[in-house]
Chain A
Amino acid sequence: MKWFVDLATRTKLFLSFGLMIVFMLVVIGAAYIGLTTLRQSQETLFRDDFLPSIELLKLRSSQNRAHAQLLEMMMIEDRARQQELQQDIAARSREVDAGLKLVAASLQGRTRELQQFDELVAALTEYRKVREQQISLIYGEKSIEAENLDATVQDKLYNRVRTIAVDLGNTAIDQAKERVAAANARAERLAQIFLGISILAFVLSIVVALYLSRIIANPLREITTAAQRIASGDLEVAIRNNDREDEVGNLTQAFATMVRYLNEMASISRQIAGGDLAVTVSPVSSRDVLGRAFADMTGYLREMAAVSRQVSEGDLTVTVMPVSDKDILRNAFASMLANRRRINQEISDGVNVLASSASEILASTTQIAAGMSETATSVTETTATVEQIKQTALLSSKKSRGVSENAQRSALVAEQGKSTVSETINGINHIKELMETVAESVVMLSDQTQAIGEIITVVTDLAQQSNLLAVNAAIEASKAGEHGKGFAVVAQEIKSLADQSKQATEQVRKILGDIQKATGKSVLAAEQVSKAVEGGVKQTAESGESIRKLAESISEAAQAAEQIAVSSQQQLAGMEQVALAMENIKQATHQNVLGTKQAEQAAHTLNELGQKLKEMVSRFKI
């Protein structure tokens, strides 16, 4: 196929489309031949088979009708009608004769059918002869005889004609069926041939189209893809080199050359990008714009590299002259050098400051490290304290729980105390009533004592009068002299009695005084008791009130203790959290200590670095 590939594209397309046109012509020819054959076979079928069978059917029909009309003639008496029927029968006979001619023409060349046809014609002729006899009989008013003749002879002849006609018709129909089958088979074969040729033409067309596509479109698509990748900067494209001599082959070779050139430029760029300025670029031709540009660029970069090297060696005295305002690199170098000179000066100053600062930082860091150690110690102490507080909180929680229980018991006791106080008040009131009764009795006693006193006063008076009487009697007795001696004794005795009465009354008075004093004391005591009882009632009521308040206070205390217990619980939880936090702080402080030591180390390093930097900055030539 190499020769085809090497053909010009126009020639390839021409050849391919020509092949397809040839296939189309073949298909059209085959279709035409098939259609003509079918038409001929249909004509033969109609002429040789369908026509005689139709004519035979018509013949039978006419024959039947004629026979029926004959039978009708026998039945009726009307002459006119009979004649009308006879003419009709004659017309049917003419139709039958015309049909027979057509059948005879179609049966040309077929001996067996022709023989049957002859028998038919002979039977028909016989039948017609008998019919003529019958008609003449009918006209001769001899219908009965005609009927008899019909029953004996004519019926057989009629059946014979019918049988033969049916046979011939069946034969014709069978033959027609065979012919139709044959024609169908032929048409089927033609259709198959036509289909086969069509499929062949279709497949060949597709094959040609695919082949053309492969050898023209595919290479073009590949190159297009490669061109797109190159356009997006991807030079890693592989162009398959083929030795085709058509337009596609030329395009591929030119593309490969371009890719090679671009790759070369790209590798040079990569070297330059990698810092390799030793690369040499030689332009391919005088119009190689890219090559010359590369050569200029490498030269420019080498100059800049030389400047950079001088700068890197510490020589800041080098000068760079920009060619234009757009010469960014030279401008940048120039400003960089200026900046470097300035910055170097500033760095020098800064390094001095840095060195002194580093020393200060070192000192501060040392102090911080010491402080951190102290903090760590304090944190440890705080942690211990927090643990103690936690224990205290636990203890207070337990205690407050106990206090709460005690307070509840106390509330119960206070309740009992309240009822006891109420009973006590009742008892004291009873005591008061009794005491009042006692006081009344004592007062009554006092009154009676007074009555006794009055009586005693009377008795005393009597005694005094008796005494005086005795004295007077004694005086009178002494005046009587010797005769009054006995009377004097009596008077003395009376005086003695009076004295005794007086003494007795004195004693009674004294006893009454004692009784009065005792009564007064009793009344006073009863009054004091009554007052004391009243005070007792009041105090007891106050005690009841106090106990009630105490019960309330205790209840509140119980609630408070409960709350304290809850609070202590929460406090305990809080203290545990604090302990945890303190533990964390401890760890953090420990880490801080470590960190500070590292910072101290770093400050040392920083100090040394400052010294080094000072040395380094002093090495620059400005």
Chain B
Amino acid sequence: MAKGKFDWDEIHRRMKAVGDAIAGGYASSPEERTRVLRQRAAGLARAEEKEDAVEVLEVVEFLLAHEHYGIESRHIREVYPLKDYTPLPGVPSFVLGLINVRGRILSVVDIKKFFALPAKGISDLNKVIIIGNETMEFGILADAILGVRAIAVNAIGPPLPMQTGIGEEFVQGVTGERLVILHAARILADKKIIVHHDV
């Protein structure tokens, strides 16, 4: 407005275009639709090639304190958004509290605190990955669930001791992309995770 010349005609034209777009319900043009579909097709096509070649490990990849972690999907029952939890008094600090998942009461563990990892930045911690075996079932807090990936076994290297700060026994391997694959069976089997306190 401070500028002497203001192209009111251009403004009117643009406003009209926006109005038309809203009125048309954002109907994308046929070319746009075709392009999106092609892109998707291309993505799917690449995934198919890799799988057939080598033995793969299916992992669920998630973010925790800006680090990428993965857990074998065979240990995971489901993922669940952390909506309401009940803090539980008299438990170690790594136990956040209790949640109700379709009638089942589960404890939620913050593995950063469990592994005594340093807090790095602010995290959302609004997802819960529910892992379990025949004896144990509990939720692990995650910042975000990135999805299920199939990772070739030969692409997984041995864990570097001082790399993650997590105990060597709990790390199954690390990929070249710095994805730390946690050993869910050992975590489930770890005695420390069982809280037994007399209050």
**Chain A residues proximal to chain B, CB less than 8 Å:** 464-465, 467-468, 470-472, 474-476, 478-479, 488-489, 491-493, 495-496, 499, 525, 529
CA distance A476 to B40 in the complex (A): 23
* Cβ-closest chain A residue relative to B80: A468
List CB contacts (< 8 Å) of B66-109 with chain A. 73-74, 76-81
Neighbour of A468 across the interface among B1, B44, B77, B79, CB < 8 A: B79
What is the total of A-B residue contacts with beta carbons within 8 Å? 49
Interface membership of B171, Cβ < 8 A = no
**Interface check B145, CB cutoff 8 A:** yes
Q: Which 9 A-B pairs have the closest CB atoms?
A: A474-B148, A472-B78, A478-B73, A478-B58, A475-B73, A471-B79, A468-B79, A475-B76, A471-B145
Q: List 29 A-B contacts (CB under 8 A).
A: A464-B81, A467-B147, A468-B81, A468-B145, A470-B147, A471-B60, A471-B79, A471-B145, A471-B147, A472-B78, A474-B147, A475-B60, A475-B73, A475-B77, A475-B78, A475-B79, A475-B148, A478-B58, A478-B148, A479-B73, A479-B74, A488-B148, A491-B148, A492-B44, A493-B44, A495-B148, A496-B43, A499-B147, A525-B1
User: Which B residues between 44 and 58 are near A, CB-CB below 8 angstroms?
Assistant: 44, 47, 58
Interface size range on B against A: 10 to 19
Question: Do A496 and B40 touch (CB < 8 A)?
Answer: yes
Q: Kindly state the separation between the CA atoms of A489 and B73 in the bound complex, as whole angstroms.
A: 15
User: Most A CB atoms within 10 A — which of B76, B81, B127, B147?
Assistant: B147
Residue with the highest number of chain A CB atoms closer than 10 Å, among B40, B43, B77, B78: B78
B145-181: contact bitstring with A at CB < 8 Å (1 yes, 0 no)? 1011000000000000000000000000000000000
Q: Which residues of A contact B1 (CB under 8 A)?
A: 525, 529
CB-defined contacts of A492 to chain B, threshold 8 Å? 44, 47, 148
A-chain residues with CB within 8 Å of residue B47 when the two chains form the complex: 492
CA distance A495 to B44 in the complex (A): 12
B78: which A residues are within 8 A, CB to CB? Answer: 472, 475-476
Within 8 Å CB of A488, what residues of B?
Answer: 148
How far, in angstroms, from A488 to B79 measured CA to CA in the complex? 16
Chain B residue nearest to A465 in the complex (CB): B81
User: Cα distance A471–B58 when bound, in Å?
Assistant: 12
From the candidates B40, B43, B79, name the one contacting A472 in the complex (CB within 8 A): B79
Question: Closest chain B residue to A467 by CB distance?
Answer: B145
List B contacts of A471 (CB < 8 A).
60, 79, 145, 147-148
A464 cross-chain contacts in B, Cβ below 8 A:
81
Query: What residues of A have a CB within 8 angstroms of the CB of B77 in the complex?
Result: 475
Nearest to A497 among chain B residues (CB) is B40
Q: Within the complex, what minimum Cβ distance (angstroms) separates A35 from chain B?
A: 161
Which chain B residue lies CB-closest to A470? Answer: B147
CB distance from B195 to the nearest CB of A (A): 27
Considering only CB atoms, which chain B residue lies closest to A476 in the complex? B78
Neighbouring A residues of B74 by C-beta, 8 Å: 478-479
Chain A residue numbers with a CB within 8 Å of B44 are 489, 492-493
B35 to chain A, nearest CB (A): 13
User: Closest residue of chain A to B72, judged by CB?
Assistant: A478
Residue of A468, A479, A525 with most partner-chain B CB within 10 A:
A468
Question: What distance in Å separates the Cβ of A93 from its nearest Cβ neighbour in chain B?
Answer: 182
Residue of A nearest to B127 (CB): A468
Chain A positions within 8 Å of B76 at CB level: 475
Contact between chains at A495 and B147 (CB < 8 Å): yes
How many Å from the CB of B111 to the closest CB on chain A? 18
Q: A211 → chain B, closest Cβ, in Å?
A: 146
For residue B75, which residue of chain A has the nearest CB? Answer: A475
Query: Bound complex: CA of A492 vs CA of B44, how far in Å?
Result: 9
Instruction: Give A519 to B176 CA distance when docked, in angstroms.
Output: 46
Kindly list chain B residues whose C-beta atoms are within 8 Å of the C-beta of A493. Answer: 44
- Minimum CB–CB distance from B23 to chain A (whole Å) comes to 16
Give the distance to chain B from A373, nearest Cβ to Cβ, in Å: 77
Q: Which residues of the partner chain A approach B73 to less than 8 Å between Cβ atoms? A: 474-475, 478-479
- Cα(A464)–Cα(B142), bound, Å: 13
Instruction: Give Cα A469 to B80, complex, Å.
Output: 8
Residues of B within 8 A of A478 (CB): 58, 73-74, 148
Contacts of B80 in A (CB 8 A): 468
